[in-house]
Every structure is written in C-alpha cells, then in structure tokens.
Structure 1
Amino acid sequence: MSFQATYSLVIRPLHFASFRWGGSFTPLVTGPAAIAFSEPLPMPSTIAGLLAGEAVGYKPSQGRVPPEELEKLIAEKLGFGDKFALRGPYIYDEDTETVYLHYWDRSPTRGRLVAVELVEGELGISFQNVDYHQHTGIALNNTCKSVIRGLIYTQMLAKQDKPIIVEVYGAAKTWPNEKIVRKLGGEGRIAVIEKTNIAPLYKLATSIKAKNSWYAYVATPILLPPHSTKDLARILEEKDRVIEVGEPPNTRIAIPTLKELEDLIEVREKQRDSHSTRRREDTREKLAKTAKRFRAKIALLSPGYDMAANMPRPLHPAIMPGSIVKIETTLNPQQLYQEGIGLHRKLGWGTLLPLPEKLVVKQQ
C-alpha cells in the first residue's frame, strides 16, 4: 500500500458547528441533559455519512446502513475501490501551519483541542480552548405554537473558523475539483467542501522516528471489538494493561502507567517575569498533573446515528481522543498511521499520531 495521501478533503463550516458525540439532544430532553456542548470535531461516522450521501444521493435509506456496509457503499457506489482509507478528521490552520487534534474530556469546561507542532525535530503540543456560542430555544406545541412548559434547552455550539481536514488514501476515483456545499453535523448546518493536495497530519506522522514499541496520541476514537471487554475489565481492575484490538493483525495496545507517561513527557512553561511574586508550582507535581491528562480514557461510544430508527447505533467500548497509548505491532508507525487501528478503521476511526521518545507539553 502506498504511503502517500491521494488527496485531502477540506471542510469549512460556514456557521457554528454542532457535532454531538453520542446521546440524544432535542427540545424534548429535559433535566440534566437540557444543555449540550458541541465537540470541536465531528466523529468519523459523520464524514462517512457525508461520503455515503454523495454515493447514494442522500436517500433516507442511507441511515439504515451499518458502519461495515458504509465501507462497501463508499467503495462501490462512490468509486473509491476497496483499497481506500480515511484518516482524521482534524483541524489545520493554514496561516500558522498548525495541526489541531481532538482532546476528549468528560468536563466541558476544559480544553477540547491540542495544537501539535514539529519545530527543529521537537514535537510539542499545547492545550487549546474552544470558543462557544450559546444557543437557547423553547419547545413549542406543533398545533397551536404555544410554549410547552419546562422545555427550555441550550446548545453550546463550537465556533469553528479553521478548516477540517480528512485525508483520503488509495481511492480509485478522485474528488471533483469544484467546491460543493453540503449539510454537516447536527441541525443540518452548512459546510463548503473542496479537494486539496496537502496532508499535514501525514507529514507530521512521517517525521517521527520510533522504535518497535512506541507511543501514540489517539487522534480519533479507537473502536474496540466486543471480546475486548474482558481485557477492559482487567485493565480497570489494574490486573492487566494489554488490549487485543484485532485489526490490523498482530497489533496490541498497552495502557501506559502514570510513571511511563511522566518519563515520556517534558513540561515546558512560558518564560515568566523574573519579578513575579507568584509562586511556581513544584515541577514534579506539575509533571504528574500533566501526565494524568493523557492517561487512557475509555468510554462507551456509539459510532454514529441510525436515522431510520431515530436512535444512536449500538455502543462500542472505545479509547477516546487525547489518550496516549503504547503500540506493539509488526508495522512501522507510518504504516499504522495510514491503516488505522481497531474496528471500522478504513472510515477514519483509530487514527494515531506516533510520538517521539520525548513529548514536550507547552504550558500556556
């Protein structure tokens, strides 16, 4: 398989983005779920749904297609062929040439992105906050348009002013050269889509030198096979640290210990004014605090929404973006970057960024 991206799709949301990662959110949802935060990036299933829509003309039956059939649909109907693979999505700032990867957190108030830069052979990342626009609505009775008591809901929509990139590998058919306008994400929000020849994350991945066993940043969720739940139970009980992912063959994920993460990470602060009276946090304590933010985050995730059934697809155990994992495989980092890891990896799930022997985390 070639390790050069065929091309990339550039997706530019025209308005505030609404990317919901699992669960349901409508005016009829009340109580603790009456506020919803958009993630800064769509799930790979959203991108796959976009491509499937191009393949079949956005028919209602599209929502009934399971993820494994989406691959076949895109391969055959869109003409991509059975060798295609998607990587991403991620955000790219063309002006500063900076890649932004998703950082999933259970708290909606912390940074949801990390900026990744390679400067003079040194890979550095820093946490980035996401700007939100508050959108509040009131549910109305469909017949008389009167307000339904108590059904006030709020959405926090992500302000997205940088393009989203999806890399396309091995596609037998190229994407049209002209710009197209399509609906993307929740509430059918509009985005402009065009083709480009740049592949910034691929460029980063091929610049990293790693050994046979290496660390990686999880850029998109790794969907784990059902049998992995036994591994997860032992991991949560701290009896084991290895997960058999199944795809690609002879590949395993090891969950790093906090000590291993501390050895991997170097925390670097901005230069402070020498006259500042503010006490500096103990270096060791700051390193431990930073390392904890990159511990493997495991959750149950639905790989998309079944529009026909009007409900999320069945849940999968997943390792979420922002986790750092250790990879044991016969493939080199660049091969595994392109092929992905875990279930439905051809659709962008399980995108990994290989890490060097030392990762610099820059404090803002």
Structure 2
Amino acid sequence: MIKITFLLIKPLKPLSFRWGGEFSPILSGPMNKGVSEPLPLPSTIAGFLYSVTKNAGNKKDVERLSLEDDLNTVKVKLWGPLLYIKGNYYAHSYPGKIIRLENWKMIEEVDVVNVLKVINKIGIGIKGDSKAVKESLLYTQQLIKIREGGILVETDYEIKDGYYTMGGESSIVKIETLKEVNIPQKGKYGLVISPIILKPVNRIITIYDLYDMEIEGLGKLRDVIVNKLPVKLGLIGVGFNISYNVRRPIYPAIMPGSIINYKEKANLGLFRENGWGSVLPVDSVIDTNTH
C-alpha cells in the first residue's frame, strides 16, 4: 500500500518563484525586473523531492535521453501546492494573487501583500567571468517571505523532518510532516491550483479553437467550463533539462485560479504523473477574473 504524506515546506529566507519571462538585459534592456509568484511550479517541488530522496542530479544518468523523454526520469506523485499559514489554507490565483479558503469554499481573492511579505531587492549586474560590475546595468528582484507557515504538498515520498536546500539558489527550507490534513476528495467544483498542461498545437489558432483543446484524461476544454466563469489560459514551461542544459518546451495551460466542472481531487492534463494539473474540490466559487 502506497503511503501518502503531507509535507510542509517552510522557506527560512525570502525566495523568488518565477513562472516565465527572461531575466536578461539582452531582451529587457539595462533595467531588469524579476517578478515572483506566491507559490513555486510543480517542477520545482518535484525536482526537490526527487533529488532529496533519490540522490538525483547526476548529468550522466540522463545523457542518453531525448529532450522529451527526460521528464520521465522524475516520477513524483505530487498534489498541490497550497499555502498553509496559521491553520488557514490559500490557493494560487495566477498571476500574482491568492485565494482565501474557508471550509473548502472560495471566500475571496486577495493580493499577496495581504498575507505574505513582499521584498523588492535592487542590485547591479556582474560579469560572470571576471565578477566585475557591468556598467549601467541594474536589476530588481521580487522576493516572497512566507511568515508563520509554508508550502503544503501531498506526496508518496517519505522525507525525514529536517533542513534541506531547494531551488537553483540552494535556499534552506525546513520540512515538517503534517499528520492531520483533511483535504476533501469531492466537491461541487474543481479549483485549479497548479497548471493543467494541454496538448500543444502546431498552428496559429483562434480563441474558438482553444475550447477544442484536449485535457489529457478528461476531454475537451469546452466540456468542463463552468458557466460565466471563464478559465485562465496561459503558456508555461515545464522545467529544465539538465542533460542538454536548456529549458524544456513551453505548453498551453489552464492556470491556477481557474474553475472547472470537475468534482474530485485529482491531477489532470499532460505530465500529471509528474505533479502537474492539481485540482482541489471546493463547494463554492468566486469569479477570479473580475477581482
């Protein structure tokens, strides 16, 4: 029998969870700005869990794999994430907001600054080879500080409580196992809490074509739309290929904060076996497109 556990990941310092864009002066000019979302992508969490439990990260292990196949090297049963702060639950509403939940009902959508601490860091550009200052190059980076709480995920990986490093910057996090977490298995609607990855298309499409896009394991997008609650669609990268040292392809996705006509706790869409496409059952909804 597979043991399922809830882990609370508590960052000990401010972090930046970037979901897209290029943090480069080549594209953005002499002033760069990195904006953080309140929660990390599933690929960040899955990679962390896999590296901690499987001693992963050796490039030689995946050198024989294609760019598409290397996703299969990280099989992590993962559902989430949610914010868990002082006994309260919050879900991500892309871009840059969170949804307060109460008794598994959507109560309100709020700005991140109302719940988390947002820090804007200003710095100067440095040349990678010589560590000298790059003239006329500045950057601002938005950091998120989770106070009195952490990032809640459900997984079948067993990790001892303690301190670990997570992310490309090797930030220190504290892991705690939570024993009493009662996530509902069914509800009246489905709240998307991590991106549902859709099948890509190889042509220019219209807005009407979007509704014919397939959700792996569920059907067409048009069949799960809740009346008067349009879903949020976007483009998302699904992680980084350590073998080829490049980003993996970008896919269309249903973004967090969307409401769909799906009543069970699940993972949907492409790469759901890697932790993407988490859906939280809720008993009431709000229109996050108007907040």
Tell me which interval the TM-score lies in, with the shorter structure as reference length. Answer: 0.7 to 0.9
| Contact 2:80/2:194 (<8 A) preserved | yes
Structure 2 residue aligned with 1:241: 211
1:349 aligns to 2:276 (yes or no): yes
Amino acid at match of 2:135: R
> What are the Cα deviations for residues 158-209 of structure 1, in whole angstroms up to 9, with x where unaligned?
12122111112xx3xx624x42322223422211113222334x23x44x2x
| Contact 1:90/1:102 (<8 A) preserved | yes
Of Structure 1 and Structure 2, which has the larger fraction of its residues in helix?
Answer: 1
Q: Secondary structure at the residue paired with 2:103?
A: strand
| Contact 1:18/1:186 (<8 A) preserved | no
Q: Distance in 2 between matches of 1:112 and 1:32?
A: 28
> Quick check: which has more Rg, 1 or 2?
1
The normalised TM-score by structure 1 is 0.66
Q: Secondary structure at the residue paired with 1:157?
A: strand
Q: Distance in 1 between matches of 2:233 and 2:199?
A: 13
Identity between Structure 1 and Structure 2 (%): 31
| Contact 1:28/1:139 (<8 A) preserved | no
Stretches of structure 1 that go unaligned for 5 or more consecutive residues are 75-84, 106-110, 262-293, 328-332
Structure 2 residue aligned with 1:179: 161
The normalised TM-score by structure 2 is 0.81
Structure 1 residue aligned with 2:99: 114
1:221 aligns to 2:207 (yes or no): no
Q: Secondary structure at the residue paired with 1:52?
A: helix
Query: What value does the CA root-mean-square deviation take over the aligned residues?
Result: 3.2
Q: Distance in 1 between matches of 2:180 and 2:8?
A: 9
Structure 2 residue aligned with 1:12: 10
Amino acid at match of 1:312: R
Amino acid at match of 1:182: Y
Aligned length: 278
| Contact 1:22/1:312 (<8 A) preserved | no
Q: Distance in 2 between matches of 1:252 and 1:143?
A: 50
Q: Distance in 2 between matches of 1:240 and 1:191?
A: 39
| Contact 1:216/1:355 (<8 A) preserved | yes
Amino acid at match of 1:140: I
| Contact 2:194/2:278 (<8 A) preserved | yes
| Contact 2:127/2:134 (<8 A) preserved | yes
Q: Distance in 2 between matches of 1:347 and 1:312?
A: 16
Amino acid at match of 2:93: Y
1:137 aligns to 2:123 (yes or no): yes
| Contact 1:23/1:312 (<8 A) preserved | no
Structure 2 residue aligned with 1:102: 92
Q: Distance in 2 between matches of 1:88 and 1:32?
A: 37
Structure 1 residue aligned with 2:66: none
| Contact 1:125/1:361 (<8 A) preserved | no
Q: Report deviation, 1:36.
A: 0.8
> What are the Cα deviations for residues 221-254 of structure 1, in whole angstroms up to 9, with x where unaligned?
0011235x77x935x1x3673432232xx54433
Structure 2 residue aligned with 1:90: 82
